[in-house]
Structure 1
Amino acid sequence: MDVIEEKRLDKKGYRLHVIPSKKYKTTNVVVKLKAGLERDTITKRALLPYILQQGTNKYPSARELRTALDDLYGAVLGVDGSKKGENHVITLRLETANEAYLSTDEQILERAVEMLSSILFDPKSDGNSFDASIVNREKQTLKQKIDSIIDDKMSYANMRMIDEMCKDEAYRLHVHGYTEDLEDINEETLYHYYQKMLAEDQMDVYVLGDVSVEKAEGLIESAFAPKQRASSAESKKTIVEQTIEDVNTVVEEQNVQQAKLHLGYRTNITFGDPLYYALQVFNGLFGGFPSSKLFMNVREKHSLAYYAASRIESHKGLLLVFSGIAPKDFQKARDIINEQMALMKEGKFTEEELKDTKDLVVNQLLETMDHPQGLIEILYHQVLAETDVSPDQMIERVKHVTREDVLLVGEKIEQDTVYFLTSKGGSRNE
Structure 2
Amino acid sequence: MKWKEITVGQVTIHFIKTEKFRTVYTLITLSEELTEETLTKRIVLADMLGFATEKYPNRRSVMLAREDLYSASLLCNTRRNGKYHEICISLTALSDKYTEEGNLENTFAFLNEVLFHPLIQEESFNEEILDQVKELNKKDIIGLKEDKNSYSTYRLLQEMAPNSKLSVSPSGTLENLEAIDGKNLATYYQNVMKNDNVDVYIVGDIDEEKVTHLVETYLPFKTKRAAYYDAFTEPLEEREEARVIREKDDINQAKLVIGCNIEDMSSFDLNFSLTLYTLILGGTPDSKFFKNIREKYSLCYYITASSLKLNHAMLFKAGIDSKNFDETLEHIRHEMKEMELGHFTDTDIESAKQTYLTMLKSITDSQKSMAYSVLLMKSLDLGTIEERRENILKVTKEQIMEVAKKIKINTIYLLEEASHEESGV
> Which category of TM-score, normalised to the shorter sequence, fits these structures?
over 0.9
3-state SS of 1:88 partner: strand
Distance in structure 2 (CA, Å) of the matches to 1:352 and 1:43: 46
3-state SS of 2:101 partner: coil
1:209 to 187, 204, 228: 204
- Alpha-carbon deviation of 1:388? 6.6
Question: Is the contact between residue 55 and residue 124 of structure 1 (CA under 8 Å) also seen in structure 2?
Answer: yes
**Which one-letter code corresponds to 1:411 in the other structure?**
K
Show the counterpart of 1:48: 45
2:133 to 135, 138, 151: 138
- Alpha-carbon deviation of 1:229? 3.0
**Which one-letter code corresponds to 1:182 in the other structure?**
L
Show the counterpart of 2:406: 412
- Alpha-carbon deviation of 1:427? 3.0
Distance in structure 2 (CA, Å) of the matches to 1:163 and 1:67: 43
3-state SS of 1:332 partner: helix
3-state SS of 2:47 partner: helix
Q: What does residue range 29-428 of structure 1 map to in structure 2 within 5 Å?
A: 29-100=26-97, 102=98, 104-126=99-121, 128-225=123-220, 227-232=221-226, 235=230, 238-268=233-263, 272-385=267-380, 387=381, 389-428=383-422
Describe the shift of the 1:36–1:272 C-alpha distance in structure 2 as closer, same or farther (beyond 3 A): farther
Describe the shift of the 1:241–1:254 C-alpha distance in structure 2 as closer, same or farther (beyond 3 A): closer
Distance in structure 2 (CA, Å) of the matches to 1:284 and 1:369: 21
- Alpha-carbon deviation of 1:230? 4.8
Q: Which moved more, 1:258-267 or 1:123-132?
A: 123-132
Question: Is the contact between residue 271 and residue 315 of structure 1 (CA under 8 Å) also seen in structure 2?
Answer: no
Describe the shift of the 1:40–1:50 C-alpha distance in structure 2 as closer, same or farther (beyond 3 A): same
- Alpha-carbon deviation of 1:175? 2.6
Q: Which moved more, 1:67-76 or 1:150-159?
A: 67-76
Question: Is the contact between residue 359 and residue 399 of structure 1 (CA under 8 Å) also seen in structure 2?
Answer: no
Describe the shift of the 1:127–1:292 C-alpha distance in structure 2 as closer, same or farther (beyond 3 A): farther
Question: Is the contact between residue 377 and residue 383 of structure 2 (CA under 8 Å) also seen in structure 1?
Answer: yes
Cα RMSD over matched residues?
Answer: 1.8
Distance in structure 2 (CA, Å) of the matches to 1:127 and 1:366: 50
Question: Is the contact between residue 46 and residue 175 of structure 1 (CA under 8 Å) also seen in structure 2?
Answer: no
1:18 to 15, 25, 28: 15
Give structure 2 stretches of 5+ with no counterpart: none
Give structure 1 stretches of 5+ with no counterpart: none
Distance in structure 2 (CA, Å) of the matches to 1:182 and 1:231: 27
3-state SS of 1:280 partner: helix
Runs of 4+ in 1 over 6 A off after TM superposition: none
Distance in structure 1 (CA, Å) of the matches to 2:267 and 2:196: 22
3-state SS of 2:125 partner: coil
- Alpha-carbon deviation of 1:275? 3.6
- Alpha-carbon deviation of 1:127? 5.6
- Alpha-carbon deviation of 1:15? 0.8
Summarize deviations over 1:92-111 as a string: whole Å, max 9, x none.
111111232x2x32311111
Distance in structure 1 (CA, Å) of the matches to 2:364 and 2:323: 42
**Which one-letter code corresponds to 1:298 in the other structure?**
I
Identity value in percent? 28
Distance in structure 2 (CA, Å) of the matches to 1:204 and 1:270: 28
Distance in structure 2 (CA, Å) of the matches to 1:229 and 1:293: 48
3-state SS of 1:249 partner: strand
**Which one-letter code corresponds to 2:154 in the other structure?**
M
**Which one-letter code corresponds to 1:285 in the other structure?**
I
Describe the shift of the 1:341–1:237 C-alpha distance in structure 2 as closer, same or farther (beyond 3 A): closer
TM-score if structure 2 supplies the norm length? 0.95
- Alpha-carbon deviation of 1:68? 1.2
Distance in structure 2 (CA, Å) of the matches to 1:193 and 1:105: 38
Distance in structure 2 (CA, Å) of the matches to 1:293 and 1:237: 29
**Which one-letter code corresponds to 1:304 in the other structure?**
L
Distance in structure 2 (CA, Å) of the matches to 1:291 and 1:235: 35
Distance in structure 2 (CA, Å) of the matches to 1:404 and 1:194: 50
Show the counterpart of 1:6: 3
**Which one-letter code corresponds to 1:83 in the other structure?**
R
